Amino acid sequence: MKALTYHGSKDVRVDTVPDPVLQDADDILLRVTATAICGSDLHLFRGKIPELHKGDILGHEFMGIVEDVGSDVTNVRKGDRVVIPFVIACGDCFHCRLAEFSACETTNTGTGAALNSKGMRPPAALFGFSHLYGGVPGGQAEYVRVPKGNVGPIVVPDALPDEQVLFLSDILPTGYQAVLNARVTRGSTVAIFGAGPVGLMAAACAKMLGAERIFMIDRYQYRLDFAVATYGVIPINFEDTDDPAEEIISQTNGRGVDATIDAVGFEAKGSKADTIATQLKLEGSSGAALRQCIAATRRAGTVSVPGVYAGFIHAFMFGDAFDKGLRFEMGQTNVQKYMPELLEHIGEGRLQPDVIISHRMALADAAKGYEIFDGKEDACRKVVLTP
């Protein structure tokens, strides 16, 4: 089959690789009908994630048709059209029973990314996201073996086309969990740092839940313009405003917003000092976006972090966070928990996640899709690939 594989920093290729086969009794074999390039895939593309090996198949946002099932699979059957969550969870361990699927204790054969784990079990395996998270082949391919076929794959109605439901696999639940973690309710004020796919999904969910004012901060004007037109956000361009947090405070009666959402993560563009510190390995992640979130959030407010981080952060303003009494919510998404209710929101027309798609390409052109998305070329917001 054809699949998008990693060969080094900014070197991905569509190669011919062996077809996947069922290995365990609860596996399913999926024929992929749609897959997408996620913002976090760009961390991999740029060579920023350890334990990514030459030939690894990328991609964790995908859906398709069930071609075969293992003998223990009961929740789906051959011919079902399903969306696959990017988190692989067993459904029966301590964390899964608490609906904390991203913390599943049994599926990840890797170590996870924690530097000071003290022997704690790693978090759940993830599709296409390095051997830290199991080295499981991803979904930017013609076919995928899906482990734990009874826990997560959700059957979607034929009335909803692929593009409407594809993002149930990651960015829509990730944006939704970020907004729930931020405790956004009717009348809330929220600032979202990052107008990429997750930031846009967070804006859509915040609007759906009744947020009164949504600030959105980004470096790219075309992304802000889209967010203004689609979600009615208040835009702040990092290139035009030296201190977005100060601007937000000035527009909120000197108080700050109820919550901030960091949808940027560890590659946030910061000061020259941030860049040097990262290059010298004095910090594992840029703290630029987090410092802005802490500054822009009102006292007793919430900082919600769906953006990916790794390692340690220089100049993390923990004293400021303590002084303000902030709460932090963060981590990988418990996708399986939110898929059913989000599918209902889509079906009822309350969410239209497909509006963010800007580029539709064949899987054969996936390498070019990565280049366009990474370079922010041609006003690219989101790339969907069709095998």
Range of the domain at 151: 2-169+334-386
| Average pLDDT of span 13-29 | 98
Q: Are residues 177 and 221 in the same domain?
A: yes
Residue 287 has pLDDT above 90, yes or no: no
Residue 315 has pLDDT above 90, yes or no: no
Q: Are residues 281 and 208 in the same domain?
A: yes
| Average pLDDT of span 303-327 | 90
CA–CA gap between residue 300 and residue 314 (Å, rounded):
24
**What is the per-residue pLDDT across 108-159, written as a single tens digit (0 to 9) for each?**
999 999 999 999 999 999 999 999 999 999 999 999 999 999 999 999 999 9
Q: Are residues 326 and 376 in the same domain?
A: no
**Cross-strand bridge partners of residue 352:** none
| Average pLDDT of span 297-304 | 98
Residue 7 has pLDDT above 50, yes or no: yes
pTM of this prediction?
0.95
Residue 278 has pLDDT above 60, yes or no: no
Q: Are residues 286 and 137 in the same domain?
A: no
Q: Which of 264, 269, 291 is nearest to 200 (CA)?
A: 264
User: Residue 123 sits in a domain of what CATH number?
Assistant: 3.90.180.10
Q: Are residues 287 and 232 in the same domain?
A: yes
| Average pLDDT of span 333-349 | 98
Q: Are residues 179 and 324 in the same domain?
A: yes
- Asked if 213 and 288 touch (Cβ cutoff 8 Å), the reply is no
**Cross-strand bridge partners of residue 144:** 30
Q: Are residues 181 and 139 in the same domain?
A: no
Q: Are residues 31 and 101 in the same domain?
A: yes
Q: Are residues 179 and 319 in the same domain?
A: yes
User: Residue 187 sits in a domain of what CATH number?
Assistant: 3.40.50.720
**What is the per-residue pLDDT across 162-182, written as a single tens digit (0 to 9) for each?**
999 999 999 999 999 999 999
- Asked if 227 and 203 touch (Cβ cutoff 8 Å), the reply is yes
Q: Where are the alpha helices (DSSP H) in 211-311?
A: 221-231, 244-250, 272-279, 288-296
Q: Are residues 147 and 289 in the same domain?
A: no
CA–CA gap between residue 372 and residue 359 (Å, rounded):
9
In our burial notation (b when 16+ CB lie closer than 10 A, e otherwise), range 47-81 reads ebbeebeeebbbbbbbbbebeebbeebebbeeebb
**What Cα–Cα distance (Å) separates residue 250 from each residue in 34, 151, 191, 254?**
44, 47, 13, 5
Which of residues 283, 304, 330 is at a domain's end?
330
Which residue's entry shows tokens 């365990």?
A: 24
The total domain count for the chain is 2
Q: What percent of the chain has pLDDT over 90?
A: 90
Which residue's entry shows tokens 């990092």?
A: 238
Q: Are residues 163 and 219 in the same domain?
A: no
Q: Which of 330, 340, 348, 351 is nearest to 182 (CA)?
A: 330
Which of residues 290, 305, 330 is at a domain's end?
330
CA 275 to chain centre: 24
> Exposed, middle or buried, 239 (CB in 10 Å: 0-12/13-18/19+)?
exposed
How many C-beta neighbours within 10 Å does residue 252 have?
17
Q: Which of 286, 278, 276, 287 is nearest to 318 (CA)?
A: 287
**What is the per-residue pLDDT across 198-256, written as a single tens digit (0 to 9) for each?**
999 999 999 999 999 999 999 999 999 999 999 999 999 999 999 999 999 999 999 99
Q: What percent of the chain has pLDDT over 70?
A: 95
Residue type, 345: H
Q: Are residues 376 and 293 in the same domain?
A: no
Which of residues 287, 308, 330 is at a domain's end?
330
